[in-house]
Amino acid sequence: MKRAVKHIGTFVVVLFAVVLGLFQAQCADAKTKKPYKAKTVRVVATMENKIHQTKSPVKKVKKISKDKNFKVRLIPNDNKYIFVLSGADMGKKQAVKVYYENGRTQVITFKTETNYLDKIKKELKPLLANPDAGLKKSLEQWEQRDMANKSHTYQFFYERSTDFEGENHTTAKYERYKEEDIYKKLTTSQKKALILEVYVHSRSHYRMNQRWIYSNCDSPVKFNRQFQKLYNGKFAGVCADGGKIAYDIGRAVGLKTKYVSCETIDHAWCVVKATDENGKPYWHGIYTTAHGYSLNASISRYHTDKYSKKQIVNNLHEPCYVHIVNRRMSRRDVLLEQAAEKRAKARSTATTITNCKCPGCYATSEWTYKHTRPSNPYITNRIYVKSDGTHVYEHNGNGYKQWFDAQGNEYFDANGDGSIMDDLAALG
């Protein structure tokens, strides 16, 4: 009996030694497993980035960078994992060490790119804060980008139409607004919608060979590439791409935007919540890479895709087709057109001789004064020109020199030297 117990004790000791040896060997093997090759992953600054990985399941992740703003957390995803990063700042090294369940490790360094959506927001928000000045500046920038150092320029108009897919379902006619009419006649919300339209449309191109690139983006870095293209005026795609990027930018700057698509007419676009000139709320369709249609406010807010043609037609806001168009003109033709408009305005405000501030000029030893246009007694043959092109006419009908423009506005010889030229120069 004693001998049996002794043999059992010896067996237990040997078994324990074998198990301990195997455990130590396994631990040693785990410690000496070769780490995965270090790699660099691109992320976008100030944006939450989700990085999908496909290696062995992760046991833990340790932040190497000392930057307090940089954070990383893990989300389980079907035996894989997703890194969720935040606080990735430009110019700083951001890195983590990943410990996998198979005993291997890996160092991942994150290369931070400029956030182009942030750059777009910094440009758009000041424009939206003052819609009149913002829309004017947007149109000026459009003209400058396209026509700098060229002999031509743009004139802008606001087109309004009832046309939907070539179906003129109402006979209502809408006049075209000139640029100056836009600021006077449209509501604040409509001008904000047009600022978004001009920003996207003037930097975009319709290209079938680049269709659905934005629509199929699935990571912050890919989205950022497209925002960068738009920021630099090189964004391209089809109607869906333009509609979706406008939808995303509009939301980012605080506008209420909606993405609408209709498979029946094979078209998609972005709409912006607005109020029309009659105080009626509606969804304002904007032109991005392609045209959009305005819809009634009653259309479902919960559907953002795949409307039927019947739903669109039954919910069109009139006028349903509105957008800003640019007409390419030579700078000389623009000046001639402006001069013609000034002449027409002068004729419409012509003053009769009975209430003119000058009762009639007369000849002197130094000059023969003449009222050269009976329809406007402020116009004489003695002309001076301001730097802005305004004509100022000299008179002597009251026994001394006076100066008026064609509308009867008087200019004064402030220093009493008998000349108006220095005074006009001072006015600029």
- Asked if the model's pLDDT at residue 414 lies above 80, the reply is no
d(CA 95, CA 40): 9
Same domain for 319 and 281: yes
| 268-278 pLDDT tens trace | 999 999 999 99
Same domain for 316 and 220: yes
Buried/exposed 285-322: b ≥16 CB within 10 Å, e otherwise = bbbbbbbbbbbeeebeeeeeeebeeebbbebbbbbbbb
> Sorting pLDDT into bands at 50, 70 and 90, what band is 319?
very high
- Asked if the model's pLDDT at residue 171 lies above 60, the reply is no
> Sorting pLDDT into bands at 50, 70 and 90, what band is 353?
very low
Percent of the residues in the chain that have a pLDDT greater than 70, as a whole number: 78
What domain count does the chain have?
Answer: 4
d(CA 398, CA 361): 8
Residue 205: Cβ within 10 Å count:
14
Same domain for 3 and 86: no
Same domain for 264 and 231: yes
Give the DSSP per-residue string, 288-350: SSS----EETTS-SS--S-B-HHHHHHTBPSS-EEEEEEEEEEHHHHHHHHHHHHHHHHHHT-
Confirm whether 336 is domain-assigned.
Answer: no
| 130-160 pLDDT tens trace | 999 999 999 999 999 988 877 788 989 999 9
Confirm whether 344 is domain-assigned.
Answer: no
| 213-228 pLDDT tens trace | 998 998 888 999 999 9
Same domain for 379 and 402: yes
Confirm whether 200 is domain-assigned.
Answer: yes
Q: Sign of the C-alpha dihedral, residues 302, 305, 277, 202?
A: positive
- Of 113, 137, 163, at which residue does a domain stop? 113
Same domain for 407 and 286: no
How far separated are the first and last CA of the chain, in Å rounded? 124
Confirm whether 337 is domain-assigned.
Answer: no
pTM: 0.69
Confirm whether 345 is domain-assigned.
Answer: no
- Of 57, 87, 113, at which residue does a domain stop? 113
- Find the length of the chain: 428
- Asked if the model's pLDDT at residue 12 lies above 50, the reply is no
β-bridge partners, 204 = 235
Same domain for 301 and 267: yes
Confirm whether 342 is domain-assigned.
Answer: no
Q: For residue 66, give its domain range.
A: 39-113
Same domain for 137 and 48: no
